[in-house]
Amino acid sequence: MKTGMRGLLPQSIWIALSIILLARFVFGQIAITDAQPPIPKPDALAQPRSPGQAGFPVNQTRAAIPPDNPQTPEKVALGEKLFFDGRLSADGTVACASCHNPDLAFTDRRPTSVGIRGRVGHRNAPTLLNVLFNQAEFWDGRAPTLEEQASLSITNSVEMGQPSMDAAVASIAAIDDYKKAFHRVFGRPPSGPNLLRAIAAYERTLYSFNAPFDHFLAGDKNAISDSAKRGWALFNGQASCNRCHAITIDQPNFVNFTDNDFHDTGIGIVRYKVVPLARRAEQLVDSGDKGAIDRAAIQTDMSSLGRFLITRQEIDIASFKTPGLRNVLVTAPYFHDGSQETLWDVMDHYNKGGGPHDPFIDEAIQPLALREQDIDDLVAFLASLTSPEYAEQGAKELERQRALSKISRPLRDTVRAFGPKPSIPPMSSP
């Protein structure tokens, strides 16, 4: 008679294995780090920004404020306080600012972010600068609003770890300053929806324009270098960056340099067995459990499926949101998984036509035949999108990345860059 695995193992070992398997099922494959960063303190870079900046889009800004959450100075101030408060996390060690540090252009400069108890997720933290112009939040667009984005981050067990929004509210509801502030702003005690409205209101003040390129567009031809001007021409020409970063002759859009769409650019998906992973994701999407989907996106290999985890559409496999390009120089590392260290790496990736053997790659991703000077010029243009408050930091970062590019170019592939588009195999059956 077959005894099976359980019959071959002592009960104590079986119990231990069961606990491990249960933990893996619940939490996914969660990496742990000892390097828990301290919560940043609010400083001058954390303050709401003035709209009096070159390039500031007045009309788009008005349209981006939701009618059910109008901006007021008192609400923004409350939201800023909450943004930096670790008490919103389950163990008091993580705040919104932990992953979105104002001194780091509202990123954390890590490949993927660290949450409570040192847990490391699968996604890179995007900047919150100009976040009010986004049409959806997260790399896969699973949150339609900033309010919902904040809720999911607070209750994700790898991020801020609260079991519910009610638990998050309970952590601050008895604090006298917060009780007074919520009554002053909303006319009632702290609640989950109003806590989220306050945080979102603060995030919608984080404008960042006034870059050298904005002054160039306004008529100052000396605002950017000749190299950046050549890069701008390449951006709209041979490099085809404008195909995803939303700059067209008929409808120019210089707000965030994004088409607000989702694309597979050939990053990472070939490491996974896509078909069985997609089938697991389909079952999860069918459940309609937003919390479970959110956990899968941050905590498991299903993260690599990108937009598919939300839509179940094959065309969306490994597709991620086109990021904005403003202040891109100071928001390294790059891509949804933080896998690339420099802008030279990013350009090398696109120059060779993206990742090989990716059956889902966007048709727009093709070899570009860019020379080294072309890549340098494109980086110079991207550097010209750095706002003044990050200019000094940007200059140092440009030199750091340039020096690194001289000794490390892991994605450089001149043969593919100057060759025909490689054939892409069809998706294999399981």
pLDDT tens profile 179-193: 999 999 999 999 999
pLDDT of residue 122 exceeding 80: yes
Judge whether 44-203 and 212-265+321-417 match in fold: yes
pLDDT of residue 427 exceeding 80: no
CB atoms within 10 A of CB 8: 9
pLDDT of residue 7 exceeding 90: no
- State the pLDDT at residue 3: 37
The yes or no reply on domain 212-265+321-417 and CATH 1.20.1740.10 is no
Mean pLDDT confidence for 60-71: 95
**Least confident residue range of 169-173, 210-214, 352-356, 378-382:** 352-356
Sign of the alpha-carbon dihedral angle for 316, 319, 325, 330: positive
Phi, then psi, of 319 in degrees rounded to 5: -95, 135
- State the pLDDT at residue 294: 93
**Structure-token pair, residue 279:** 């089938």
pLDDT of residue 407 exceeding 60: yes
**CATH for the 44-203 domain, from 2.60.40.10, 1.10.760.10, 1.20.120.1200, 3.40.50.620:** 1.10.760.10
pLDDT of residue 395 exceeding 70: yes
pLDDT of residue 138 exceeding 90: yes
pLDDT of residue 18 exceeding 80: no
- State the pLDDT at residue 31: 66
Which has more pLDDT, 422 or 91? 91
Mean pLDDT confidence for 120-133: 96
Mean pLDDT of the chain, nearest integer: 89
Nearest CA among 403, 420, 317, 303 for reference residue 361: 317
Q: Cα(296)–Cα(301) distance, rounded to whole angstroms?
A: 8
Global pTM reads: 0.89
What percentage of the chain has pLDDT greater than the value 70? 88
Q: Cα(385)–Cα(108) distance, rounded to whole angstroms?
A: 19
The residue assigned the tokens 């892409």 is 424
Confidence of residue 71 (pLDDT cuts 50, 70, 90): very high
Mean pLDDT confidence for 13-33: 44
Nearest CA among 304, 295, 296 for reference residue 275: 304
- State the pLDDT at residue 326: 98
| Domain boundaries, given as residue ranges, for the chain | 1-27, 44-203, 212-265+321-417, 269-317
What percentage of the chain has pLDDT greater than the value 90? 78
